[in-house]
Amino acid sequence: MENYFTENFEVQAKNSSEDALQRWRKLCWLVKNRKRRFRFTANLSKRFEAEAIRRSNQEKLRVAVLVSKAALQFIQGLSLSSDYIVPQEVKQAGFQICAEELGSIVEGHDVKKLKIHDGVEGIAEKLCTTITKGISTSEIDRRKQVYGVNKFTETPPKGFWFFVWEAVQDTTLMILGFCAFVSLLVGIVMEGWPKGAHDGLGIVASILLVVFVTATSDYRQSLQFRDLDKEKKKIVVQVTRNGLRQKLSIYDLLPGDIVHLSIGDQVPADGLFMSGYSLLINESSLTGESEPVNVNASNPFLLSGTKVQNGSCKMLVTTVGMRTQWGKLMATLSEGGDDETPLQVKLNGVATVIGKIGLFFAVVTFAVLVQGLFTRKLEEGTQWIWSGDEAMEMLEFFAIAVTIVVVAVPEGLPLAVTLSLAFAMKKMMNDKALVRHLAACETMGSATTICSDKTGTLTTNHMTVVKTCICGEIKEVNGSEKFGSSIPESVRKLLLESIFNNTGGDVVVNEAKKVEILGTPTETALLELGLLLGGDFQEERGKSKIVKVEPFNSTKKRMGVVLELPEGGFRAHCKGASEIALAACDKFLNSNGDVVPLDEASTKLLQDTIENFASEALRTLCLAYSDIGSGFSESVDIPFQGYTCIAIVGIKDPVRPGVKESVAVCRSAGIVVRMVTGDNLTTAKAIARECGILTDDGLAIEGPEFREKSDEELQQLIPKLQVMARSSPMDKHTLVKTLRTTFQEVVAVTGDGTNDAPALHEADIGLAMGIAGTEVAKESADVIILDDNFSTIVTVGKWGRSVYVNIQKFVQFQLTVNVVALVVNFTSACLTGNAPLTAVQLLWVNMIMDTLGALALATEPPTDDLMKRAPVGRKGNFISNVMWRNIMGQSLYQFVVIWYLQTQGKEAFRLDGPDSDLILNTLIFNSFVFCQVICDYKTLNFFNRKTGNHEVVKD
Ligand SMILES: Nc1ncnc2c1ncn2[C@@H]1O[C@H](COP(=O)(O)OP(=O)(O)OP(=O)(O)O)[C@@H](O)[C@H]1O
Ligand SMILES: [Ca+2]
């Protein structure tokens, strides 16, 4: 049995194979309501469609690139003329190019047309925009009219009646509806109105009730999912409009907008490259092609939905919304739905198996009942004469058989999973965690280890430079003006040149005329230092020309620029992780500001400074420069040796309040927390100690050392590993993978950067930061932590556990009811020839179980006790032995009660007279319902008992 389930009803929490997704679907043929059952599973045919779109995109793009290459050679030096006529309405709106033309240029990579329109600048002009000012907000409406908006068509939200319609399409309800019809007909003919209609109307009433309760619950769920979906799609980009750099939702983008893209961003619309450096674009989300492409002035085409893998740029938006290929893809994909979760599938399996057993019993019950009737009639010799009453009796038998199937197919099981997950999702949203994939809620409950990022998750991500070492002198930065006064003027100049040119950030004046610093927290801290030193960003930028930029990335851990100096010659500036940048230095500036060779003593001094800063939990950065003569060409890499160290800075990033407590909660919950960071080992250790992650017997290691370890060594090392510093993206990935495969751990990973994407993808649960996180990280994640706070991760864990336990509760409850209903009806049908619980009664119970019972049990909020047990882990058995025992015990007890009532009831309660059967059955029904209520209550209690929990979860 166990094997049957693992073979057929097992899918991964994420990245399941197509095969596995298909397999269980095929086996689930005994379904009461297909539409409902499969509503929250992946729509495989839609996905197939999306895949086809991707493939055709890839083909189209390949052709376009080839054609454009050929054309590029052909048109060089040629003056081209075109027969393009600007449509009248476009002209009237004040623009010189229409949406179709723009679309065909970018999507078709059409260099010829691009040249006809005088290149990117020409198109910008025709779109009435400039790179410095962008579009002006006053004419937004006109733009919208001519070019459309950046939104995808979505399937319209489903109304209440849609769900009513879906609820009606339930096989068993339909059969019962038919029974009701016949019953009404026969009843009225036989006994007349209204007496003969009682039974029929009873059935009709309960059908209506079932339909409406189901539809209401489904409808509310759909509203919840719709809200979450909206939240998921909120993406903000940096745009220049009205001459101001500002944040804007991607839905508000219009052709003509200037968008600033940097590493980790998603290209929000089709457009053209205006300026930028080392731009590498990954088009796999659009085309499935994994090889990234270089985008630059000669290949300026940027397609919506692709990702910036490296570098940065300014882009001119040309085509938006459904005119882009991405728009078409998204419209299809949004109907593809989310992958089903492992529990959903598992319970679908349970439902199918029990349903089959139920079907068998139903057939037997029906046969036994019919046989009883026939025997009676044979004895009476009236087998050829059928009265209306007897026909009704047959009908009633049939209804009972059908109802046994209705009750036996525990359709509520898989649906309760969705209900419970949806409930948890909504509550988590209030607690600042946005769940992107349903399965994550489930998996999080069994997490055994968390690999946490340092920056931004454990710390506040609000960075300030608090210490510097300039000209061999250590200084504290405390915001006072005189900080810079003792620095020699030549050094101050170099420092400002470095800070303001060698940066990915920007200093802008915002709408309120206030100075605003943009960029990553590290960059911001440095720019702030520059302003404190009395520098002016724009002025400094104007002094020299930037000829090359190598933007920061986590693999190199440094950033470099080359400047063309006003007095001639080139100068390279480098800033980066202090040990790494310092290793490229062979000179430094002494206390007079003179360049002197770096001897052993001064190297030691600088290294000690770095150590000192780091041991105070500061992030250290080294700034250096190098004059590289006059022969620098843009096409070569920036040299990385012979630098002169200008300064070492120590940046403070305080630990978030509450992190220590949260780490302690994790510890008591049996979840191991590890820190993986790109920062320096000493810094990492200091912070880890402060958070309570690093203990005395724990191990801290650097990425480069970790990489060298053999598999056996890793086996020894990983259980003790608490901190990994200076990690590369791949180190993180390796750690997660080893934990998952070798150690069978259920791993949660947090991350914010593009560098974290591989690990987030590999993890059982990927958690991305909502504020600091890049689009790429968010896309690879299963949950987005909206407030970037580690404590929220603990909340997610708590909800995950609560979901797990709630579903267990519901399963136990429903299985008990199933077994009892089945056994009671079957045995009494066999032994007495009639069923104590009628179809209508069973339907009632079923409705209460499926909807109200599920609501009550599946939506229990979590208790703090949940975090005091050991995690379930990968091997946890969902329906534990204790649960089986409970199910059996409960069923037996209920069966005995009902059986007693049925056989001895009349005597015990002194029932006689014509109505005794009716009264007895009512009595039986009521005790049955009461038993369920008690069972329901007991289940709750049982799971909430503090000590009992351990066994339940572990067994
Ligand atoms: N903009 C930058 N320019 C140059 N160097 C930087 C920049 N930002 C960070 N660094 C250096 O790179 C190191 C960390 O880089 P990395 O991106 O791998 O880690 P992180 O993601 O910031 O940290 P964590 O993994 O803890 O979140 C820092 O210690 C710092 O010295
Ligand atoms: Ca990070």
**In the chain, where the domains are located:** 49-150+253-333, 160-226+341-425+797-954, 433-460+656-788, 464-504+520-649
Q: What is the largest CA-CA distance in the chain?
A: 124
Question: How buried is 489 (Cβ within 10 angstroms: 0-12 exposed, 13-18 middle, 19+ buried)?
Answer: exposed
User: Has residue 543 got a pLDDT over 80?
Assistant: yes
Q: How far is the CA of 779 from the centre of ligand 1 (A)?
A: 21
Q: Is the CB of 688 under 6 A from ligand 1?
A: no
User: Has residue 955 got a pLDDT over 50?
Assistant: no
Q: Token digits for 633?
A: 């060409």
Q: Is the CB of 306 under 6 A from ligand 1?
A: no
Number of the ligand closest to the Cα of 683: 1
pLDDT, tens digit (0-9, with 9 covering 90-100), for 767-807: 998 888 888 899 889 999 998 888 899 889 999 999 888 88
Beta carbons within 8 Å of 194's beta carbon, 6+ residues apart: none
Between CA 598 and CA 604 the distance in angstroms is: 10
Q: Which of 458, 549, 552 to mutate to test the pocket of ligand 1 (most atoms within 8 A of CB)?
A: 552
Between CA 133 and CA 240 the distance in angstroms is: 6
User: Has residue 948 got a pLDDT over 50?
Assistant: no
Q: What fold is seen in the domain 160-226+341-425+797-954?
A: Calcium-transporting ATPase, transmembrane domain (1.20.1110)
Of 433 and 820, which is predicted with more confidence?
Answer: 433
Q: Where are the alpha helices (DSSP H) in 381-463?
A: 388-408, 412-430, 438-444
Q: Which of 557, 574, 785 to mutate to test the pocket of ligand 1 (most atoms within 8 A of CB)?
A: 557
User: Closest ligand 1 atom, CA of 679?
Assistant: 29
Phi and psi, residue 140, nearest 5° = -60, -40
What is the residue with the minimal CA distance to atom 27 of ligand 1? Answer: 455
pLDDT of res. 878: 75
| Cis status of the peptide bond prior to 871, with omega within 30 of 0 | no
Number of the ligand closest to the Cα of 559: 1
pLDDT, tens digit (0-9, with 9 covering 90-100), for 269-313: 999 999 888 889 998 888 877 788 999 888 899 999 999 988 889
Q: How far is the CA of 238 from the centre of ligand 2 (A)?
A: 20
pLDDT of res. 63: 84
Beta carbons within 8 Å of 911's beta carbon, 6+ residues apart: 905, 919, 920
pLDDT, tens digit (0-9, with 9 covering 90-100), for 880-920: 778 888 888 888 888 888 778 777 777 777 667 666 666 77
**Catalytic sites, residue numbers:** 453
| Mean pLDDT calculated for residue range 448-472 | 90
What region does 428 belong to: left with phi over 0, alpha with psi -120 to 50, or beta? alpha
| Mean pLDDT calculated for residue range 638-644 | 91
User: Closest ligand 1 atom, CA of 502?
Assistant: 3
Q: What fold is seen in the domain 464-504+520-649?
A: Calcium-transporting ATPase, cytoplasmic domain N (3.40.1110)
Q: Is the CB of 732 under 6 A from ligand 1?
A: no
Number of the ligand closest to the Cα of 703: 1
Average pLDDT along the chain: 84
Between CA 110 and CA 490 the distance in angstroms is: 50
Q: Is the CB of 552 under 6 A from ligand 1?
A: yes
Q: Is the CB of 936 under 6 A from ligand 1?
A: no
pLDDT, tens digit (0-9, with 9 covering 90-100), for 4-49: 777 778 777 777 788 888 888 888 877 777 887 787 788 888 888 8
Q: What is the CATH number of domain 433-460+656-788?
A: 3.40.50.1000
Between CA 530 and CA 532 the distance in angstroms is: 5
What is the residue with the minimal CA distance to atom 18 of ligand 1? Answer: 678
Q: Which of 640, 677, 702 to mutate to test the pocket of ligand 1 (most atoms within 8 A of CB)?
A: 677
User: Has residue 945 got a pLDDT over 60?
Assistant: no
Q: Is the CB of 457 under 6 A from ligand 1?
A: no
What is the residue with the minimal CA distance to atom 29 of ligand 1? Answer: 679
pLDDT, tens digit (0-9, with 9 covering 90-100), for 43-97: 888 888 888 888 888 888 888 888 877 777 776 666 666 777 888 888 888 888 8
User: Has residue 830 got a pLDDT over 60?
Assistant: yes
Tell me which H or E stretch contains 556: none
User: Closest ligand 1 atom, CA of 621?
Assistant: 31
Between CA 401 and CA 364 the distance in angstroms is: 9
pLDDT of res. 918: 67
Q: Is the CB of 678 under 6 A from ligand 1?
A: yes
Q: How far is the CA of 684 from the centre of ligand 2 (A)?
A: 12
| Mean pLDDT calculated for residue range 659-686 | 92
What is the residue with the minimal CA distance to atom 19 of ligand 1? Answer: 678
Q: How far is the CA of 772 from the centre of ligand 1 (A)?
A: 13
**Structure confidence at residue 471 as a pLDDT band (50, 70, 90):** confident
Q: Is the CB of 778 under 6 A from ligand 1?
A: no
**Structure confidence at residue 391 as a pLDDT band (50, 70, 90):** confident
| Mean pLDDT calculated for residue range 731-743 | 92
Q: Is the CB of 557 under 6 A from ligand 1?
A: yes
CB 940 within 8 A of CB 855: no
Q: How far is the CA of 695 from the centre of ligand 2 (A)?
A: 22
Number of the ligand closest to the Cα of 729: 1
Number of the ligand closest to the Cα of 619: 1
Q: Token digits for 74?
A: 């052909």
Q: What fold is seen in the domain 49-150+253-333?
A: 2.70.150
pLDDT, tens digit (0-9, with 9 covering 90-100), for 323-354: 888 888 888 877 767 778 888 888 888 888 88
